[in-house]
């Protein structure tokens, strides 16, 4: 797939860009600033080089095949990642792609979308990754929004010819950025009122090795997993970690 990321220069955007590039998708990292987008792509390429070199040291050719070691990323994934990242302004990143991932802080999501929606092609799927988090003391909760969830709130301004999907909200940037390891045991929740778009984004999630996209249901289901993100962050703080995630047993 061709995928653009709005605010792809941030923590979550970079992590998703890397994992999707490793899975072979063409990634446009968007930013308000072209220079910043290009700098972040340079930094990510350096990271890919460093991780590749470390894995080569760990598993020299002939001694052990990375592919056999399921707990590590493969040379093929690293090669994909090197080839599939480009940086550009948000306005260009959202054009002529199959899906756009919205990865800006929730407080700026609506105004950013309003500005960029005219640049999106009809049929491009908008994937909302944002979470309307609010901190109360040491506890994270979600803002109460009249539409029922952050994704529903944003979907209210999106034209009907752009399907809205909520997803990738319960996986941490920290876990995504550790590209030497596949995402073993991690599920992400996906919801949409458009069944075709829902299936495509579940497939996109499943294309990342070991990650599982779980089809939850209608877009309003995002209300539940936005709250689950708040639970994860609160657990992370209490247990001094950055990489908790959910696994559903079916
Ligand atoms: N971090 C996580 O682990 C995580 C996990 C799940 C979900 N999320 C959600 O993903 C979203 C992004 O999180 P993040 O941690 O990546 O955020 P972030 O690093 O703070 O920001 C992401 C990007 O948003 C852009 N941005 C910042 N201020 C903006 C503004 N006023 N207008 C337009 N764009 C602006 C910036 O890009 P440019 O300066 O390049 O334009 C920035 O690099 C949030 O909604 C968060 O709730 C995050």
Q: Which residue has the higher pLDDT, 151 or 68?
A: 151
- C-beta neighbour count of 87 within 10 angstroms: 25
Domain limits at 162? 2-239
Region 72-76: what's the mean pLDDT?
A: 86
CB-ligand 1 contact for 129 (6 Å cutoff): yes
Dihedral of the CA atoms 182, 195, 157, 167 (nearest 10)? -20
Distance between CA atoms of 94 and 82, rounded to whole angstroms? Answer: 21
Signed CA dihedral, 59, 77, 191, 135: sign only: positive
**Distance (Å) from CA 103 to ligand 1 centroid:** 5
Answer whether residue 179 is part of any domain: yes
Answer whether residue 249 is part of any domain: no
Whether the pLDDT of residue 170 is over 70: the answer is yes
Q: Above pLDDT 70, what percent of the chain? A: 96
Answer whether residue 248 is part of any domain: no
Answer whether residue 13 is part of any domain: yes
**Distance (Å) from CA 62 to ligand 1 centroid:** 42
Number of domains in the chain: 1
In this prediction, residue 65 has a pLDDT band, given cuts at 50, 70 and 90, of low
For the chain, the straight-line distance linking the first and the last C-alpha, in angstroms and rounded, comes to: 28
Answer whether residue 17 is part of any domain: yes
In this prediction, residue 67 has a pLDDT band, given cuts at 50, 70 and 90, of low
Q: What is the pLDDT of residues 123-157, one digit of tens each?
A: 999 999 999 999 998 889 999 999 999 999 999 99
Q: Given this model, what pLDDT does residue 231 score?
A: 95
What pTM was computed for the model? Answer: 0.96
Answer whether residue 250 is part of any domain: no
Answer whether residue 247 is part of any domain: no
CATH of the domain at 223: 3.40.50.720
Q: Given this model, what pLDDT does residue 84 score?
A: 97
Residue nearest to atom 19 of ligand 1 (CA): 10
Residue nearest to atom 35 of ligand 1 (CA): 104
Answer whether residue 141 is part of any domain: yes
Q: What is the pLDDT of residues 86-102, one digit of tens each?
A: 999 999 999 999 999 99
**Distance (Å) from CA 74 to ligand 1 centroid:** 29
Q: Given this model, what pLDDT does residue 71 score?
A: 79
């Amino acid at each position: 797939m061709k995928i653009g990321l709005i605010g792809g220069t941030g923590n979550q955007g970079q992590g998703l860009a890397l994992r999707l590039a490793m899975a072979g998708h063409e990634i446009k990292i968007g930013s308000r600033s072209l220079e910043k987008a290009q700098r972040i792509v340079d930094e990510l390429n350096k990271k890919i080089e460093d991780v590749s070199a470390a894995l080569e040291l760990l598993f020299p050719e002939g001694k052990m095949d990375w592919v056999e070691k399921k707990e590590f990323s493969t040379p093929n994934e690293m090669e994909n990642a090197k080839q599939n990242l480009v940086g550009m302004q948000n306005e260009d990143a959202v054009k002529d792609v199959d899906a756009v991932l919205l990865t800006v802080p929730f407080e700026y999501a609506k105004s950013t979308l309003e500005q960029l929606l005219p640049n999106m092609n009809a049929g491009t799927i908008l994937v909302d990754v944002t979470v309307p988090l609010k901190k109360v003391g040491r506890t994270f909760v979600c803002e109460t929004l009249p539409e029922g969830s952050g994704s529903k709130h944003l979907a209210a301004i999106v034209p009907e010819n752009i399907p809205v999907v909520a997803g990738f909200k319960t996986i941490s940037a920290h876990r995504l950025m550790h590209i030497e390891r596949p995402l073993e045991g991690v599920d992400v929740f996906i919801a949409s009122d458009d069944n075709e778009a829902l299936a495509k984004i579940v497939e996109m999630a499943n294309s990342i090795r070991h990650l599982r996209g779980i089809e939850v249901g209608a877009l309003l289901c995002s209300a539940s997993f936005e709250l689950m993100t708040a639970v994860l962050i609160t657990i992370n703080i209490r247990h001094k970690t950055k990489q908790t995630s959910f696994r559903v047993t079916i």
